[in-house]
Amino acid sequence: MTRRLLVWRHGNTDWNAGSRVQGQTDVPLNDLGRRQAAQAAELLAAMRPDAIVSSDLRRAADTAAALAALTGHAVTHDERLRERHFGAWQGLTMDEVALARPLEFARWKAGEEVGGDVEDLDVLGKRVSDALEDAATLGATVVVATHGAAVRQGVAHLLGWPREQIRTLRALQNCHWVELSHDEARGWQLGAYNVGVFAERPVPPPV
């Protein structure tokens, strides 16, 4: 049987908008994020998912709830789907991290292990990919709501990609998703990346 996973990043938050490091801080969606979740949920509902699984952090759980409202499925929460733990970075803007922790910031920019109290990439990748594997047993099509770094590292770990290849993936936009398929002959394969509703454009003022 072919299985399909749709791994979905949460909607926008005020910390996203302000380039502030969230990590495992429980930041809620903002108004834009709630609109993004509702719009994306319409597309995902049309794919007729059998189950919905989410990180237990509010921004992902509330994103998943928008899809649950359309499908009638209950959301299963899994803390393994939480974002990467960024330790002392959490709550700082990226500019503040660069000033306060320049060596760690330089390692992060280079795609290396950051060190300090920031979660190791291999640890992140394994815990998220384990959660994805378990989610995939819940039906032929399963939607998983999680976080940006968690998606990229977890999906890459599931596909067996080396770190150099992971760096070729662009950051996943808010409320966009990755499509993965699995069959016994070929294992996990990447079908699509960064799929979603077009970003909102400002409404022009009345003439």
pLDDT band at 206 (very low <50, low <70, confident <90, very high): very low
Predicted pLDDT of residue 163: 87
Give the chain's largest Cα–Cα span. 60
Confidence band, pLDDT 50/70/90 cuts, at residue 83: very high
Q: Model-level pTM?
A: 0.93
Question: Which positions are catalytic?
Answer: 10, 83
pLDDT at 207: 39
Q: Which of 26-35, 74-83, 135-144, 197-206 is predicted with the least confidence, judged by mean pLDDT?
A: 197-206
Instruction: Name every residue whose Cβ is closer than 8 Å to that of residue 183 and which is 6 or more positions away in sequence.
Output: 1, 2, 3
Any idea which architecture 3-86+119-195 has in CATH?
Answer: 3-Layer(aba) Sandwich (3.40)
Q: Are 10 and 30 in contact (CB under 8 A)?
A: no
Here the tokens at position 39 are 């719009």
Say how far apart CA 11 and CA 33 lie, in whole Å: 4
Domain boundaries, the chain: 3-86+119-195
Q: In what order do the strands lie in the sheet with 141-146?
A: 75-77, 51-54, 141-146, 3-9, 177-183, 187-195
pLDDT, one tens digit per residue, over 36-68 is 999 999 999 999 999 999 999 999 999 999 999
Structural tokens at position 23: 């990590």
Exposed (0-12), middle (13-18) or buried (19+): which is 194, by Cβ within 10 Å? Answer: middle
- pLDDT band, very low/low/confident/very high, at 7 (cuts 50, 70, 90): very high
